[in-house]
Amino acid sequence: DTAVSQTPKYLVTQMGNDKSIKCEQNLGHDTMYWYKQDSKKFLKIMFSYNNKELIINETVPNRFSPKSPDKAHLNLHINSLELGDSAVYFCASSQRQGYEQYFGPGTRLTVT
Amino acid sequence: AQSVTQLGSHVSVSEGALVLLRCNYSSSVPPYLFWYVQYPNQGLQLLLKYTSAATLVKGINGFEAEFKKSETSFHLTKPSAHMSDAAEYFCAVTISGGSYIPTFGRGTSLIVHP
């Protein structure tokens, strides 16, 4: 009965490959987010969607493309993976913009 | 733009001692403030939040924080540390009525010694 779920939990791939991470929330929230957490635990917001509309698009390489097919889902597609993309990626949701966020368990991406 | 500063990347306390994790923010408008906890290999979990109601906010696991506008601070405290409190703690801010971009501090690792 997980509130925010992500798949896969671990992702190991080679440079140059394309991969996707999926996120689903069953909380009925309007807003969803993608974050990148580096090895020093620094958490950086990448994207946010509100009611399927992109509202936050921080300085992220255009190899990263989010897609929200509906309010409950937010996927992240990454093209041409690079070593520096290795990190833990977290999905989160909130009832509305600015409200407290509920985080998924994370996807640990390792690019070799 | 808002920002968050967490003083001390690591805080070490003995079990039973007071826990104090510091957070200062900058914002030109009233903020919403949050503390999250992250246990190893898990996502972040909300501890407590301030959204312009009572300035002393109580959260889960015995934690509380006080919003002090004059000091632009939102420090997290717990009277008596438990071994299970060892984790990474993040302070975060969003701006009420603004762009709502969440900004997180760099985190403080709480170490609890027996």
E strand or H helix at B10, and its extent? strand B10-14
Nearest-Cα distance to chain A for B49, in Å, is: 7
A33 Cβ under 8 Å from any chain B Cβ: yes
Q: What is the pLDDT of residues A12-23, one digit of tens each?
A: 999 999 999 999
Of A42, A56, A106, Cβ closest to residue B101: A56
> Taking an 8 Å Cβ-Cβ cutoff, which residues of chain B contact chain A?
32, 34, 36, 38, 41-46, 49, 88, 90, 94-96, 98-104, 106-107, 109
- Show residues of chain B in contact with A92, CB under 8 Å: 43-44
CA B84 to chain centre: 17
Burial class from Cβ neighbours inside 10 Å (0-12, 13-18, 19+) for residue A60 reads middle
**How many CB atoms are located within 10 Å of the residue B96 CB?**
13
Closest residue, chain B, to A40 (C-alpha): B106
Q: What is the pLDDT of residues A4-51, one digit of tens each?
A: 999 999 999 999 999 999 999 999 999 999 999 999 999 999 999 998
Look at residues A4, A20, A8, A10 and name the one whose alpha carbon lies nearest to residue A65: A20
Q: What is the pLDDT of residues A68-98, one digit of tens each?
A: 999 999 999 999 999 999 999 999 999 988 8
- Record the tokens describing residue B78, joined without a space: 């717990």
Kindly give, in sequence order, each residue whose CB lies less than 8 Å from that of residue A2, ignoring residues fewer than 6 positions away: A26, A105
Substitution target in B2, B9, B38, B93 with the highest count of A β-carbons within 10 Å is: B38
- Show residues of chain A in contact with B45, CB under 8 Å: 103
CA B104 to chain centre: 10
A104 Cβ under 8 Å from any chain B Cβ: yes
pLDDT at position B53: 78
